């Protein structure tokens, strides 16, 4: 929202406004950061059939039209992290699931990889705030997503190159999961927390996901 010049600072954002409630409602549609440009623009139109219109816009979006926004988005994030890291961190509070797997992430790092559309520096900052220090090699970020075009392709490459016989893929985005349905020996776990679609009624609880992880972690 700051990157779109709707607000100048975090303090200006009204986290109880109708506009912000709508943003949270449709936040699950966002993949890479440039998607925010079109989500915020469409929110201002009060469009009917919101999800359908949004997907049409994303499918037809051209990099030349969103690359300025994308740069401003990451520049704004970096500025917030640099000028007031603690305030920025509080805006990114972790889910309790992280507490459940924290010891696994620390003691069995080789068993976990993070595949995200965020930038690597941001992911590391968020994890380190929680006392978790992962190798950069364990994080596949927005640069990898831009290169491979999907999390599914990244996962396939990883499983082939690292000769991984079986893996779990946890995500809150059902579209990312659906893209992976044809990957052999990959079990898909749909989280029922985070930015999920209201249609994802069969998503798993944090405890259910934790139990599935414990079945395969060596």
**Residues 102, 78 within the same domain:** no
CA distance 216 to 207: 15
Both 53 and 71 in a single domain?
Answer: yes
In a domain, 39, yes or no: yes
Name the nearest CA neighbour of 215 among 168, 172, 180, 170: 168
106 with 210, same domain: the answer is yes
Decide which of 62, 90, 118 is a domain's last residue: 90
pLDDT at 1: 53
36, 103: one domain: no
pLDDT for the residue 92: 84
pTM comes to: 0.86
In a domain, 3, yes or no: no
Asked whether residue 19 falls in the same domain as residue 35, the answer is yes
**Domain limit, last residue, from 56, 90, 124:** 90
Is residue 2 one of the residues assigned to a domain?
A: no
User: Which CB contacts under 8 angstroms, 24+ apart, belong to 152-157?
Assistant: 152/176, 152/179, 152/180, 152/183, 154/115, 155/115, 155/180, 155/183, 155/186, 156/183
- pLDDT (0 to 100) of residue 46: 82
Tell me, yes or no, whether 193 lies in a domain: yes
| 60 & 138 share domain | no
Residue where one domain finishes, among candidates 90, 123, 141 = 90
Q: Classify residue 4: in a domain, yes or no.
A: no
Q: Is 81 helix (H, G, I), strand (E, B) or coil?
A: helix
Q: What is the mean pLDDT of each run of 10 residues along the chain (218 residues)?
A: 56 73 92 94 91 96 95 89 83 90 94 95 93 94 94 97 97 94 97 91 96 92
Note whether residue 199 is domain-resident.
Answer: yes
Backbone angles phi, psi at 34, to 5 degrees: -65, -20
Paired tokens of 87:
């305030």
Number of domains the chain is built from: 2
Domain membership of residue 14 as a residue range: 10-90
The pLDDT value recorded for residue 79 is 87
**Same domain, yes or no: 159 and 80:** no
- Rounded Cα distance, 210 and 19, in Å: 34
100 and 59 assigned to the same domain: no
Same structural domain, 53 and 107: no
């Amino acid at each position: 929202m700051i990157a779109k010049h709707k607000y100048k600072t975090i303090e200006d954002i009204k986290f109880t406004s109708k506009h912000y409630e709508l943003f949270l409602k449709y936040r699950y549609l966002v993949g890479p950061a440039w998607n925010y440009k079109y989500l915020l623009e469409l929110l201002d139109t009060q469009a009917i059939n919101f999800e359908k219109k949004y997907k049409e816009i994303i499918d037809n979006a051209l990099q030349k039209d969103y690359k300025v926004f994308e740069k401003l988005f990451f520049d704004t994030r970096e500025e917030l992290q640099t000028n007031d890291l603690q305030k920025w961190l509080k805006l990114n509070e972790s889910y309790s699931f992280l507490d459940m797997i924290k010891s696994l992430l620390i003691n069995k790092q080789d068993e976990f990889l993070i595949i995200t559309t965020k930038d690597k520096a941001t992911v590391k900052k968020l994890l380190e705030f929680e006392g978790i220090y992962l190798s950069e090699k364990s994080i596949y970020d927005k640069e990898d997503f831009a290169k491979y075009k999907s999390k599914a392709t990244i996962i396939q490459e990883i499983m082939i190159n690292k000769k991984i016989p079986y893996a779990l893929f946890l995500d809150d985005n059902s579209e990312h999961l659906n893209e992976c349905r044809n990957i052999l020996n990959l079990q898909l776990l749909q989280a029922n927390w985070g930015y999920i679609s209201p249609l994802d009624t069969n998503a798993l609880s944090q405890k259910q996901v934790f139990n599935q992880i414990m079945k395969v972690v060596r």
